[in-house]
Amino acid sequence: MPQPAINPWVRRFEEADTPHLSAEVVICGYGGAGACAALEARRAGADVLVLERAAGGGGSTAMSSCEMYLGGSGGTRLQRDIGLADSTENMIAYLQECFGSQGDEERIRRYAEGAAEHFDWVEALGVPYKRAAFLERTVVPLSDESLLFTGNERAYPFNRIAEPVPRGHVPSKEGDEGGRMFMQALMATVEAEGVRIQANARVLALLQDDTGRVRGVVAKIDGTECNILASRAVILSAGGFIMNRAMLERYAPEVLPYGEPYGNQWDMGDGIQMGMAAGGNIINMNECFLSFAFYPPAKLTYGLLVNSGGQRFINEDAYLARLGHHAAQQRKQEVYLLVQNEDYEPTMYMESRRMAGTGDSIAEVEGEAGLPAGALQATVAYYNKHAEHNEDPLFHKAAEWVKPLDKPPYALISYSPQDVQYQLGDGPGYLMFTLGGLQVQTTGEVLSPAGRVIPGLFAAGRTAAGLPRTSAGYASGMSVGDASFFGRLAGCAAAGHVKAEG
Ligand SMILES: Cc1cc2nc3c(=O)[nH]c(=O)nc-3n(C[C@H](O)[C@H](O)[C@H](O)COP(=O)(O)OP(=O)(O)OC[C@H]3O[C@@H](n4cnc5c(N)ncnc54)[C@H](O)[C@@H]3O)c2cc1C
C-alpha cells in the first residue's frame, strides 16, 4: 500500500516528545516583521519567544534603507512639521491605483488609516527623523533629509488620480544606513521589554494537533531538534523566498532569466512552506519587485526608453519598480535609453551597462545598435515635435522632464538585464524580491484555501502576501512599512488570544 508523502514542514503535535521550551507566543524570524510583532505581543502582556536562524536579528530589514511608505490622517508628524498635509482618502486613492485588482482593499484602508500613528510608534523607539524633505528625483537621499517621493506620485497616471505627496520616511543620517539604525533601535527595545530571543535557531516545522490547531514549532538549536510549545500562537515572519531557486522555478519562473535575487541568505521561503503545510493558502506568488534604477542622476530622465523595435513603452519619469515591471514586458526584455550628451552621466547604482550605439544623428545610432531602420528616427521625430510644446501626448511624461532630443552626439545605452550589473547584485539582472506568500487577514491570521482561519497561526512581512502586490505599483517603503505595520497587528492579535483565552 502506498505510504502517504511525509511533509517535512509540519509534525503531529500528539507525537511530539517532551517540549524543551515554551512560550505563549512563538515567533519564527527576528527581522522587521518579527521584531515588531514581538514587541506588540509583549506589550499586550504575552510571554514571547523569538527564534532566529541567523546568529543575530535584522534580516533583510537591517540591510534595507528603511524607507517606510507612510502618510494619511492629515499627515504624519513629520509631514505636518514641514507643512505638508496628506489625507487618508488621498493615500487610499493612490494605493488603489498602485495595485488595481491585485490590491487588497481592506489591507490598503487599514494601512492608510494607521500609517501616521505607525510613524509615531517607530520614532518613539528612538529612530531619528529630520524635519526636512529631499524633493529631487532619487532613490535614497544620501544627505540627511527624512522625507522624499519614493513612488510614482508625480508620474502619470498616478498624478491624475491622487494629489502627489512625498510619503517615503527614512531615518536621518548621511549615507544609507536606515535599516541598521531602525533594527538596532527596535531590537534594543524588544530585548529591554523582556522578549526572549534565541539566535542560531532554525525553525524546521510547525507542530499541529489533530484538530488543525498550531501548537508550536520544532527548531534546530545547537545541532539538536527541540520541540517548542506555543500555548497561544505561532507567528511566521521568516521573510520571502527570493533565495530559494526551486521555489522561484515553481512559482515565479518568468522572472528567473532576468531577475537577480536581493535579500538576506535566509530568504528561503521556510515560513511560507510551513504555513502551506499547515493548510495555509498562498497567493500572488508570481509577483516580484523588480528594480530598473537607471536614475539617479535624475537628468537621465530627459532621455527616451525604447524597446528593440525602437519604440517607447513607458513614461520615463516613473519609479524604478514600475520601470522594471514594464521593461520586463518587452520582447526578450530588450530595453535601451536614448540620451543626448548634455544629459549623460553614468547611472549611480549600476556598475555596468552596455553602450549599444553612439552617433551624431539618430540614424547613425539606430544603425549602430541594429534597430529596425527608421524606427528610432520615427520615435524621436514624433517625440520632438510635441516636446517643442513641452508635451508628451503618448506617455504623459511630466513637463519638467520633456525637451527635444536635438543636441548631438547621442548614445543608446542597453539596460537589458544581461547588460546590467548592480553594485548590490552578484550577477547581471534586475534586482528582485518576492511579493507573494501566505494569504492572511489584516490581523495576520493565516487563511486556508477555503477562507478559514488556521487556529494558532499568524504570518507577517514577506512571508505573507501583504500590501505590495506588484512591481508596477510598488513604491520604496511599501515592504518595510508593510512588514513593520502588519507585524505589529499580528503581534497584537496573537496576544489578543492571550487576553481572550488566558
Ligand atoms: C538592500 C535592500 C534594501 C531595501 N530597502 C528597502 C526600503 O528602503 N524600504 C522597503 O520598504 N523595502 C526595502 N527592501 C525590502 C525589505 O527590506 C524587505 O522586503 C523587508 O525588510 C522584509 O521584512 P521581513 O520582516 O519580512 O523579513 P526579514 O527582515 O528578512 O526577516 C526575516 C528573518 O527571518 C529569519 N529566518 C528565515 N528563515 C528562518 C527559519 N526557518 N527559522 C528562524 N528564522 C528564520 C531570517 O534570518 C531573518 O532574520 C530592501 C531590501 C534590500 C535587500
Q: Which secondary-structure segment (H or E) carries 133?
A: strand 133-134
- Whether 3 maps to a domain, the answer reads no
Kindly give the pairing relationship between strand 224-236 and strand 21-28. Answer: parallel
Q: In this structure, are 269 and 312 located in the same domain?
A: no
- Whether 43 maps to a domain, the answer reads yes
CA 272, CA 281: separation in Å to the nearest integer?
Answer: 9
Kindly give the pairing relationship between strand 196-198 and strand 10-12. Answer: unpaired
**Which ligand 1 atom sits closest to the C-alpha of 463?**
26
Instruction: State the DSSP code for 312.
Output: B
CATH no. for residue 269? 3.50.50.60
The residue among 148, 175, 202 that closes a domain is 175
> How much is the pLDDT for 502?
35
* Domain count along the chain: 3
Residue nearest to atom 2 of ligand 1 (CA): 64
The string of DSSP codes covering 105-126 is HHHHHHHHHHHHHHHHHHHHTT
pLDDT under 50: residue ranges of the chain: 498-502
> How much is the pLDDT for 501?
40
Q: In this structure, are 267 and 314 located in the same domain?
A: no
Q: In this structure, are 283 and 308 located in the same domain?
A: no
Q: In this structure, are 317 and 409 located in the same domain?
A: yes
> How much is the pLDDT for 234?
98
- Mutation pick for ligand 1 pocket among 40, 64, 422 (CB with most ligand atoms within 8 Å): 64
Ligand 1 center to 264 CA (angstroms):
7
Q: In this structure, are 200 and 75 located in the same domain?
A: no
> How much is the pLDDT for 346?
86
**Cα dihedral sign for 311, 314, 320, 321?**
negative
**Which ligand 1 atom sits closest to the C-alpha of 462?**
26
The string of DSSP codes covering 68-99 is EE---TT--HHHHHTT----HHHHHHHHHHHH
- Whether 165 maps to a domain, the answer reads yes
Please name every residue paired with 432 in a beta bridge, in sequence order, or none if there are none.
261, 290
Ligand 1 center to 37 CA (angstroms):
14
- Whether 131 maps to a domain, the answer reads yes
Q: The whole model's pTM is what?
A: 0.96
Q: In this structure, are 136 and 160 located in the same domain?
A: yes
Q: In this structure, are 165 and 93 located in the same domain?
A: yes
Q: In this structure, are 337 and 411 located in the same domain?
A: yes
Q: In this structure, are 217 and 236 located in the same domain?
A: yes
Nearest to 255 by CA among 9, 432, 28: 432
CA 313, CA 299: separation in Å to the nearest integer?
Answer: 19
Residue 289 grid cell: 519587485
Nearest to 22 by CA among 56, 53, 54, 47: 47
- Whether 4 maps to a domain, the answer reads no
- Whether 429 maps to a domain, the answer reads no
- Whether 480 maps to a domain, the answer reads yes
- Whether 466 maps to a domain, the answer reads yes
Q: Which domain holds residue 81?
A: 68-175
Q: In this structure, are 20 and 90 located in the same domain?
A: no
Q: In this structure, are 308 and 413 located in the same domain?
A: yes
CA 20, CA 229: separation in Å to the nearest integer?
Answer: 8
> How much is the pLDDT for 498?
45
The residue among 422, 447, 472 that closes a domain is 422
CA 405, CA 343: separation in Å to the nearest integer?
Answer: 10
Q: In this structure, are 48 and 188 located in the same domain?
A: yes
> How much is the pLDDT for 19?
81
Residue nearest to atom 9 of ligand 1 (CA): 477
Residues near ligand 1 (Cβ within 6 A): 28-34, 51-54, 57-61, 63-67, 202-203, 237-239, 262-264, 266, 270, 424, 433, 461-462, 476-481, 483
**Which ligand 1 atom sits closest to the C-alpha of 201?**
43
> How much is the pLDDT for 95?
98
